[in-house]
Structure 1
Amino acid sequence: MQSTNHSIPHVDMRRYDEDFQAFTKDVGNGYEEYGFIALTNHGVDTQLIERALDTCRDLFALPEDVKMKYHRPGQGGARGYTPFGTEIAKDAKHVDLKEFWHVGRELEGEPPYPQLLPNVWPEELPEFKRDMTLVYQELDKLGNKVLDALAVFLEQPRDFFRDKVNLGNSILRPLHYPPIIDEGTPSVRAGAHEDINVLTLLVGSREPGLEVLAKDGTWVPVTIIEGAIICNVGDMLQRLTNHKLPSTTHRVVNPPMPYSAKSRYSIPFFLHFNPDVLITPLSSCISEENPQKDEPITADDYLMERLREIGLVK
């Protein structure tokens, strides 16, 4: 079932500086109700976003044999190129219709965690490193501001999350959904799923298709103000908040013509905890009405468990 009666709330990022308490309420209430919000006036340069999306188009237009040079088998897709038809949503029967590239945190010298692998950059497209590094840094900063508000909303110190995500294994994922040749395919561009991480920030896409599952069981097409950045709760934050903040199921459906005949590009940023953070439900989110639902687990152990479920780690 599909609904057009409601969509996700918009939150003005200018309130972070102008009225932090109101901003906190906007963010917290939006997440508690929907698990998704759209960030407006976020300060990430529109020209950078447009340029980065164009660079992604150029990246995925490279010949298949060139892209496969940057595929790293055995890494679970942690860095570099993952070819079309690799990933499958948890419990799904058909692979997703997409290919992608993973960019991690750029670090100087020895990484503080072995999980922070070196990035893989295509020598054929030097601007890819420039653009993706800039987008990564901007979305990392933006995600931290959202987390500042969530910390206060969850009755924690404002800087509660800062030292828990400063060296997180966060991932920027340039994505390409190719044109749909077979209109009768049982596969979709991205099957119904929840995100594994803490927060996801999505820039792009210029095409329709993203839908979220509302509490009443209807699928809601995500319609946002042009230039807004979608930001949703992931499973790690849901666990930390004892499910007070929901990790909402979402999907990317195959759109109708003429959109299905075109490629779709987007650049989600998956903000992660540092690998050794123990995800323990916050006491402020536990009550008689909402008893503790999950046992503590480290961020890295949880990530590995979930990557096996979606087929990226065997």
Structure 2
Amino acid sequence: MNKIPSVDLRDFLSEDKDRKQKFINEIGNAYENIGFVALKGHFLDDELVDNLYAQIKKFFELPVDTKQKYEIPGIGGQRGYVSFGKESAKGKKEGDLKEFWHFGQYVENNPKLEEEYPHNVIVEELPEFNEVGKQTYKMLEKTARYVLRSLALHLGLEETYFDQYIFNGNSILRPIHYPPIQEEPKGAVRAAAHGDINLITLLMGAHGKGLQVQNHEGEWIDAIAQPDELMINVGDMLSRHSNNKLKSTIHRVVNPPKELWGTSRYSIPFFMHPVSEMKLDVLENCIDEEHPKQFEDITAGEFLNERLRELGLIK
């Protein structure tokens, strides 16, 4: 497979059983073969997207000392601002060439989770930034819910299997700014090759070259979405849970050609995480003689902490 398949969520949401099954087959096949799809028919409208980009640009243009005011110590970068070069991919010592912000869950009716999750950080200088971030979070979470329902059916599970685990889940919306490159990077790229930790990732802003996906032959292919599409990929949690039936694909963001070094790049992934108690034990119906159990039992919370330590975000 040398290009990313495109699917339309409206097929899954339609009352037509054949259209719904077509979507399940297409997304299931894509995730078994390359781990990425481009998705049309999601719940983000153009006005919300335009507002979000406008607010994000305003935030990242703030003076460095203003932004650093929102860098909260002791929470592993899970909320608020994370400054340039702080995060590196697993196994890499060079920090990625990016700065970013984290919006987290807006917990409903669960005091225990309100205690467990860090609070969202409010940017005083940009009141609209906080509101548009929350609206985007909700619409991406809604989109992800239906994608996971289609994958539940593909895996032979009850359609709403994932709903209980993602409601009030530990999901993160991460607006990223890759600043202009000032000098030849020494071994660093905008985002080094990595797999995502979570269940699925919904990516806004994959409209230009930069994002690349590694196919099963080890070749890097460009992943470019149309303006009305989200790029959605499988993360390591879902790969474990499905005994690697659904593939978590290695991907990276490469540096642009030298003539484009003076440009910023913005990208906005939504990392869909379940609640910490979710068991990621391999599903029984993903184990057979040809596919023995590949992974140890672990909860989502334990797995997340393990990976955040590897990334250097928590000690």
Scaled to the shorter chain, the TM-score interval is: over 0.9
Q: Which residue of 1 aligns with 2:10?
A: 14
1:183 counterpart residue number: 184
The DSSP-based 3-state class of the residue aligned with 1:297 is: coil
* Unpaired runs of at least 5, structure 1: none
Q: Is 1:51–2:51 an aligned residue pair?
A: yes
Give the aligned residue type for 1:127.
Answer: E
The answer to whether the 8 Å contact 1:53/1:267 transfers is: no
SS at match of 1:278: coil
Does the residue aligned with 1:21 lie in a helix, a strand or coil? helix
* Greater shift in the superposed pair: 54-63 or 230-239: 54-63
Report the alpha carbon displacement of residue 286 of structure 1 after superposing the two structures with TM: 0.5
Count of residue pairs the alignment pairs up = 310
CA distance in 1 between partners of 2:150 and 2:109 (Å): 32
Q: Which has the higher contact order (CA 8 A, sep 6+)?
A: 1
CA-to-aligned-CA distance 1:147-186 (integer Å, 9 cap, x gap): 0000000000001000011121000001011001113432
Match status 1:75 vs 2:71: no
Q: Who is 1:117 aligned against?
A: 118
Identity of aligned residues (%): 46
Q: Secondary structure at the match of 2:164?
A: helix
How far 1:226 moved relative to its partner? 2.3
Higher alpha-carbon deviation: 129-138 or 42-51? 42-51
Query: In structure 1, what is the equivalent of residue 194 of structure 2?
Result: 193
Flag structure 2 segments of 5+ consecutive residues without an equivalent: none
State whether structure 2 residue 24 is matched by structure 1 residue 28: no
Contact preservation (8 Å) 1:79, 1:117? yes
1:93 aligned residue:
93
Which residue in the other structure is 2:134 paired with?
Answer: 133
**Cα distance in structure 1, aligned partners of 2:60 and 2:221:** 29
Kept in 2, the 8 Å contact 1:55–1:127? The answer is yes
* AA of the residue aligned to 2:84: F
Q: CA deviation at 1:284?
A: 1.0
What is the alpha-carbon distance in structure 2 between the residues aligned to residue 205 and residue 56 of structure 1? 16
In 1, are the aligned partners of 2:206 and 2:230 still within 8 Å (CA)?
A: no
TM-score where L is the length of structure 1: 0.95
RMSD, matched Cα: 1.4
Cα distance in 2 for partners of 1:80, 1:26 equals 36
State which drifts further: 18-27 or 187-196. Answer: 18-27
Shift in Å, 1:11: 0.5
Q: In the alignment, what sits opposite 2:107?
A: 107
Question: Counterpart amino acid of 2:116?
Answer: Q
The AA in structure 1 aligned to 2:86 is: T
